[in-house]
Structure 1
Amino acid sequence: MSQTDRVTTSESTLRDQVRDEIRSRISDGRYPAGARLVEQRLADEYGTSRIPVREALRMLESEGLVVTVPRRGVVVASLSRADLEHLYNLRESLEAMAFRLAAARATPGEVRSLHRLLERMRAAVEGGDHREIVAVNTQFHSQVVEMAGNPYLGTALQPVDGRLRVMIGINHDYGRQFAEHEALIKAISDGDADRAAALAAAHVDASRHSTLDRYDEHGPAPAPGPVTTPADADLRLLVVNPNISTSVSDLIEAEARRAANPGTEIVMRTAESGVAYIETRLESLLAGPAVAELVAQAGTTADAVVVAAFGDPGLPALKELVGVPVVGITEAALATASLLGARMSIVAISERITPWYRDCVERNGLLGRLASIRSLRDPLHGIGTVQDDFGPELVRLANQVVTEDGADVVILAGAPLAGLAREVADQIPVPVVDGVAAGIAQAEALVRLAPGPARAGSYAGPPAKAHRGLSPALAAALEAAQNRD
């Protein structure tokens, strides 16, 4: 590959990365309608030249998300009233279908999971926490779409919701939304598909009228509260779910945001290939390339990377690939547990997973301090609802490793259990460690310690050599690692 080809590939990859990140920030309200997007500032924030930023903005303009305004430059586009009407019409049909399908096939565990989200929304509404309300609302609807069992529904809804989130700041009738979510859950719980579909259509229609009424009164408005931009954030963490389950990603992201410092930005990514959840060495091997691809796609925009699956798929290789700290939730949980007690035990979600977990403990040099690994024995109903389906049994196992195995510390292992430690800590008489929370805290600490990249030793970048069959992003990341100095 010529030098010119390398530059072209790198700039093309960076362009796509910058485009995706700006699109994400527009969708979640961090870049509200009317916000100026200045090329040089974005280039500085993302660590690129202005060329990929300029190309990314042109692509976003073709999507209708940004516009060029004379004497102002590029700004986040405002949706017209007609745009809103068209988008809401489409969303109404898709949401009604999702809720109809979900009601017809929902499991008790999935219904309990929706109730947990409802309680989180209640607390956020009472506390006036706008960002938490938006996050829970998004998680609620994405979980229903996953429950529907039609993978194309999510693909169809994503761009519609993304465009509508540009207007998120002008629709905050949270009391109504809460009541409607409660009624929707009741319809799903009752298995009444027709009622669920009708309520979903009415839910979207009410949102449409509320948004249009406020639009008519005020016009487009930015999201309420302070807007965090990359320049405001102390650091930026890329959190990667090596499983393909978006319901697990929702759990990971929620716990990561709770665990992170206020100035930390969490960027969540989910593997595009692999298995629903990883239980074996082979499944971990399959996850490695998917994780490497996600990390490569992030380029130089993250200050650290957190691999959020117990077992840390691909972790040693990722430490060679990038010049920033890479933390696995397994090594983070084990390191944290080793500071809290002499002997530790792991509570796992399946028997099949325990040999691999034991390998992971041995790889981290802590097998001599492992008291036991105990696991659930019953089949899982859904990977995103393990906490709701087996919460009491997980607590029983945690207490059992203390009383019978002599554990000083309990690790609740696996991304599907993210956040559970916070809820059950008062039911277990020893410290309880959450891998996601530990991973976030240790990644933040490593960034602030600023130890520098590995230029020698076993985690130094690989030697330069020919390659083929790699994606442009991974090829660019590999070449950057080979030339790290």
Structure 2
Amino acid sequence: MTEDRSTDAPALRRADWGQAGGASRAEAAADLVAELASRVSPGTRLGTKDELRARCGVSVGTFNETLRLLQTRGVVTVQRGPGGGLFAAEQTPMAKLAHSVLALDASQADVTQALRIRNALEPLLWQDALWHASPADIRDLRLHLERMDAAVEAGDDDAFVRANWRLHARVAEITPNTLLCSLYAALLELVERHALAVRPQPGVSLAQHIHDRCRLHAALVDTLEKRDRETLMRLVAEHDTTTAADAE
């Protein structure tokens, strides 16, 4: 691979985004691949999935999450078949927009504003999912619900919130609107990195709160399967009760 230094490299690395420390293994692997992509011309082959996974030193499951992060950020494209693999992506306006969101300061004000905008996009995502969700999409969403259920049973609020975010990210993947998906995913990632606490409503225990939120999300997925728009919109309105510290 030859380096292309004729233009400024795009801000593909977390260090360029103002990212705080404490990255997960998937995020660290995404940084490594993004570093490779930032040094070459768009369209350059970075390697096969197995080659890059071995280079990152992570499991298959972790690298699948890494690949999801890279594709959401517009860092790589994937080509199948002979000669395929991961390729450095052209930095489209949508990818640059996502990078701009991720470059925001990690201050409480930024997280609060990101959450407010994310919540405003929720009805659009769920409406698109209502009309475009396939049986395979519904199956995937139910797998995420199972992880949320397991976290509730274990009383693990951090695991619950992370499983919740993965469900929302999967809902965003259903929309055919790539701009909506890209912007929402970038906002979700910003919130996810800097808002981990679960804050119940006054007078409600933490255990009851995450149980209720799990049931609400299960009902949302049920409405997608039934194509029940009226119930979906009511549940989406009920869902939008979050704060920056309760980013579900």
- How far the C-alpha of 1:167 sits from its partner, in A, is 4.1
Determine which structure has more spread, i.e. the larger CA radius of gyration.
1
Distance 2:118 2:234 in 1: 13
Distance 1:20 1:141, change over 3 A: farther
Distance 1:181 1:20, change over 3 A: farther
- How far the C-alpha of 1:91 sits from its partner, in A, is 1.6
Aligned to 2:107: 78
Distance 1:131 1:210 in 2: 12
What is the CA RMSD across the aligned residues, in angstroms? 3.9
- How far the C-alpha of 1:138 sits from its partner, in A, is 2.2
Within 5 Å, which residues of 2 pair with 1:38-187?
63-65=103-105, 77-80=106-109, 83=110, 86-130=113-157, 132-171=159-198, 173-187=209-223
Distance 2:223 2:21 in 1: 34
1:129-176 Cα shifts (integer Å, max 9, x gaps): 455434422221121112222211121113322332344223255323
Aligned to 1:189: 225
Distance 2:152 2:193 in 1: 21
Distance 1:100 1:14, change over 3 A: closer
* Letter of the structure 2 residue corresponding to residue 207 of structure 1: T
Q: Secondary structure of the equivalent of 2:196? A: helix
- How far the C-alpha of 1:191 sits from its partner, in A, is 0.4
Distance 1:122 1:105 in 2: 25
User: Per residue, is there more strand in 1 or in 2?
Assistant: 1
2:172 and 2:184 in contact (8 A); partners too = no
TM-score, normalised to structure 2, is: 0.52
1:98 and 1:144 in contact (8 A); partners too = yes
* Letter of the structure 1 residue corresponding to residue 241 of structure 2: A
1:85-125 Cα shifts (integer Å, max 9, x gaps): 54333222211111111112222332222112111111122
Distance 1:177 1:24 in 2: 28
Distance 2:157 2:195 in 1: 10
Distance 1:18 1:118, change over 3 A: closer
Q: Which has the higher contact order (CA 8 A, sep 6+)?
A: 2
1:258-284 Cα shifts (integer Å, max 9, x gaps): xxxxxxxxxxxxxxxxxxxxxxxxxxx
Over the matched positions of the two proteins, sequence identity in percent amounts to 24
2:138 and 2:225 in contact (8 A); partners too = yes
Aligned to 1:349: none
- Which runs of no fewer than 5 residues in structure 2 stay unpaired? 25-98, 200-208
Answer with 159-168 or 138-147: which moved more: 159-168
- Which runs of no fewer than 5 residues in structure 1 stay unpaired? 1-5, 29-58, 66-76, 213-485
Within 5 Å, which residues of 2 pair with 1:179-258?
179-203=215-239, 205-208=240-243, 211=246
Distance 1:14 1:87, change over 3 A: closer
Distance 1:20 1:177 in 2: 35
TM-score, normalised to structure 1, is: 0.29
Distance 1:26 1:197, change over 3 A: farther
Runs of 4+ off more than 6 Å: none
Distance 1:105 1:16, change over 3 A: closer
